[in-house]
Amino acid sequence: MGTVDTPGDQPHATIVLPCFNEEEHVLREVERICLAMDKSGISYELLAIDDSSTDHTLARLRGAEPDFPQLRVIHFPRNGGSGTVRRIGTQQARGEIVVWTDADLTYPNERIPEFIGMLDDSPEIDQVVGARTSEEGSLKVFRVPAKWFVRKLAERLVNAQIPDLNSGLRAFRRQIALPYLRLLPPGFSCVTTITLAFLSNEHEVRYVPIEYAKRAGRSKFHFFSDAYRYLLQVVRMVMYFNPLKVLMPPALFLLGLGAAKGIYDLVVHHWHIANDTLLVFVTGLILASLALLADLIVRSRADT
């Protein structure tokens, strides 16, 4: 495990903290993270990235820099979204382990050293994710079933158990994540993307149960638009790494349905096959061909 660094040393871990309009509590989060990391003895840097806040978040972060030697403040002149913040923060990270978390007091950031320690102690683990044991967001009556459906779909597509698909608290090995950073969308579904990228490529992901508190400030999550993006991103990521998982099941279903309907037509309609039967069968054939072609493209891309 790393030791406390001195100026100019290479930190062992980099904590990426997206900040957007968090003026009321951002310094509490910075203090909590730095206190836990200083106690742990792990060398680190804290990248607090202001995503073009419209309040005094940036000013408060700048004012706190002299009090926290490991704090590095980065300002974005225009809002890029949490995914963009995490991507650029990971690219600029100097630590071999990168931690993603939020600045809204929801995640138990005092446990960040525990996550880093798990990666240090177990070389076979490539990512540690905090799996939330409760749902504290707004519109729970819609969020819970929607997130359950998307998570179960993702589990089926990647053949892995995923206790929490979109947790914002995670630690991972930077070198392994670098090839996948270009796939990150600008919004909240970036955490879903990095999870599916690791699982689709057989990287070991370990889940740790965590408590999830009610957020401070106003949520930036918009249920209907962001839930749609989550679902779309799950399908997109699995298509990128394993298109057969997405395209072949409906193709086989249509082929089977067309074949069964064709037999029915031959028996009932005296060897006459209806046009809709041919349409269903040909659609399944085209979809199966697209699935095989997409799989060939993915395999050829992996060989280059």
Q: Scanning the structure block, which residue is given the tokens 């930190």?
A: 11
Do 194 and 270 fall within a single domain?
A: no
Q: How far apart are CA 138 and CA 279, in angstroms?
A: 45
Domain boundary residue among 192, 209, 241?
Answer: 241
Looking at the chain, list the stretches that DSSP marks H as alpha helix, in order from N- to C-terminal side. 26-40, 57-64, 82-92, 112-121, 140-158, 174-177, 190-200, 223-241, 243-268, 275-303
Same domain, yes or no: 95 and 153? yes
What predicted TM-score, i.e. pTM, was given to this entire model?
A: 0.82
In the prediction, which pLDDT does 145 show?
77
Residue ranges for the chain with pLDDT beneath 50:
1-7, 304
**What is residue 149's predicted lDDT score, i.e. its pLDDT?**
84
Residue-level pLDDT at 189: 83
pLDDT value of residue 8: 55
122 and 173 in one domain?
A: yes
Which pLDDT score, from 0 to 100, does residue 233 have? 78
CATH of the domain at 228: 3.90.550.10
Provide the pLDDT for residue 187.
76
Cβ neighbourhood burial of 268 (10 Å; 0-12, 13-18, 19+)? exposed
Is residue 48 located within the same domain as residue 139?
yes
User: What integer pLDDT is reported at residue 271 of this predicted model?
Assistant: 84
In angstroms, the CA 301 to CA 58 distance is 42
- Whole domain around residue 293: which residue ranges? 243-303
Tokens of 23: 């003026």
Which two structure tokens, joined as six digits, stand for 257?
Answer: 């349905």
> Residues near 87 by Cβ (< 8 Å), separated by ≥ 6?
181, 184, 190
3-state secondary structure of 41: coil
Angle, helices 140-158/223-241, rounded to nearest 10 degrees: 0
* Residue 3: per-residue pLDDT: 47
Tell whether 259 and 171 lie within a shared domain.
no
pLDDT of residue 219: 56
pLDDT tens sequence across 178-204: 999 999 988 768 999 999 999 999 999
Domain ends where: 192, 218, 241?
241
Sequential DSSP letters for 201-238: TT--EEEEEE--PPPSS-----HHHHHHHHHHHHHHHH
Residues 38 and 132 in one domain: yes
Q: How many domains does the chain have?
A: 2
3-state DSSP call for residue 146?
helix
pLDDT digits over 234-293, tens only? 888 888 888 998 899 999 999 999 999 999 999 988 888 999 999 999 999 999 999 999
Residue 220 is predicted with a pLDDT of 54
- Distance of alpha carbon 215 from alpha carbon 105, whole angstroms: 6
Name the nearest CA neighbour of 26 among 2, 50, 52, 1.
50
